[in-house]
């Protein structure tokens, strides 16, 4: 017999178009609260609970020393579930109606400098063989398109249009977008395909990026790849595919790209999501402002 939680998962997957990974994460959070509720309040059904029960769960999560960001994410899963129950008229009021999220410190993601990116690209400038050609393309593609790691791994052969110099990316909530690629990247795509076709065995035929054994790459591989190369040129704490995405956006904005255009390239649903990158280009903006404004030159002379 289907439960409200089953219906909620179907709602997330088929109506909200959330990825299987996201649906599972929501389900795991509900199960976690369900187990807590049964253990501490001897109640199996989480559809009818009061805020005190949820608050006790939150306190228990904090006691495990996980971050406030993680706690807020888990509570957000509960919020979504109770909104669903409201929508389907299973409850009349959400127990989280007056809940306030825990305070979190804003983490500023520091992008790589152009010098650091150039240094890494210089390392992979003349690839030989399948793996080197693939690795160079992965680094270049992440930096020149700003696609997410999951989007890169989800690329299929049918998504690559070399004649048109475009790739089709399946983003969050299964939203599709077409991204132009630079001529140099188009050439690399063609070269990689030649190396890919020379593999002895191809297991995951549909997927574009493969291991030397012919299977689809996993997320940890791409993280290790980016971390490994950028660790040789950068002392920044975080060296990940996501930082390379930040770098893409920041470098575009620093060089005069329109914010709306960057938003479209990144696949953001709102401009607010893209504006988080503008803090990185504030110093560049100050220089442009001083050089362009009529009072800017006199201001510089007085210093």
Catalytic residues, by residue number, are 148, 172, 242, 245, 268, 277
Task: Annotate 103-145 with DSSP letters as a single string.
Answer: P-PPPPPPPPPHHHHHHHHHHTSS--HHHHHHHHHHHHHHHHH
Separation between Cα atoms, residue 143 and residue 229, nearest integer Å: 13
294-298 CB contacts, 8 Å cutoff, 24+ apart: none
Query: Residue 192 contacts by C-beta under 8 Å, 6 or more apart in sequence?
Result: 133, 134, 137
Which value, in Å, is the radius of gyration of the alpha carbons in the chain? 24
DSSP bridge pairs for 161: 166
Query: Residue 11 contacts by C-beta under 8 Å, 6 or more apart in sequence?
Result: 84
148 closest CA partner among 126, 179, 123:
179
DSSP bridge pairs for 180: 166
Separation between Cα atoms, residue 21 and residue 80, nearest integer Å: 16
Helix (H) or strand (E) holding 168: strand 166-170
Task: Annotate 18-67 with DSSP letters as a single string.
Answer: --HHHHHHHHHHHHHHHHHHHHHH-----SS--HHHHHHHHHHHHHTT--
């Amino acid at each position: 017999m289907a439960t409200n939680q089953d219906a909620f998962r179907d709602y997330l997957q088929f109506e909200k178009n959330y990825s299987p990974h996201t649906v599972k994460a929501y389900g795991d959070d509900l199960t976690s609260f369900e187990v807590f509720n049964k253990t501490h309040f001897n109640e199996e059904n989480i559809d009818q609970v009061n805020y005190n029960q949820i608050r006790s769960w939150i306190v228990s999560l904090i006691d495990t020393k996980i971050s406030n960001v993680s706690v807020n994410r888990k509570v957000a899963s509960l919020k979504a579930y109770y909104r669903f129950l409201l929508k389907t008229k299973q409850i009349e009021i959400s127990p989280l109606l007056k809940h306030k999220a825990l305070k979190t410190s804003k983490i500023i993601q520091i992008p790589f400098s152009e010098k650091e990116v150039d240094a890494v690209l210089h390392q992979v400038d003349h690839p030989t063989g399948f793996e080197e050609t693939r690795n160079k393309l992965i680094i270049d593609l992440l930096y020149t398109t700003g696609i997410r790691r999951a989007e890169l791994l989800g690329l299929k052969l049918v998504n690559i249009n070399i004649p048109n110099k475009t790739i089709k990316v399946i983003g969050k909530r299964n939203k599709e977008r077409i991204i132009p690629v630079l001529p140099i990247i188009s050439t690399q795509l063609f070269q990689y395909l030649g190396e890919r076709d020379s593999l002895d065995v191809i297991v995951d035929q549909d997927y574009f990026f493969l291991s030397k054994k012919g299977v689809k790459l996993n997320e940890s591989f791409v993280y290790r790849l980016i971390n490994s190369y950028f660790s040789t040129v950068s002392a920044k704490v975080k060296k990940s595919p996501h930082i390379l995405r930040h770098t893409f956006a920041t470098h575009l904005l620093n060089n005069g790209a329109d914010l709306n255009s960057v938003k479209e390239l990144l696949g953001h649903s709102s401009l607010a999501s893209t504006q988080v990158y503008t803090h990185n280009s504030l110093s560049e903006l100050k220089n442009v402002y001083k050089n362009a404004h009529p009072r800017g030159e006199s201001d510089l002379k007085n210093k």
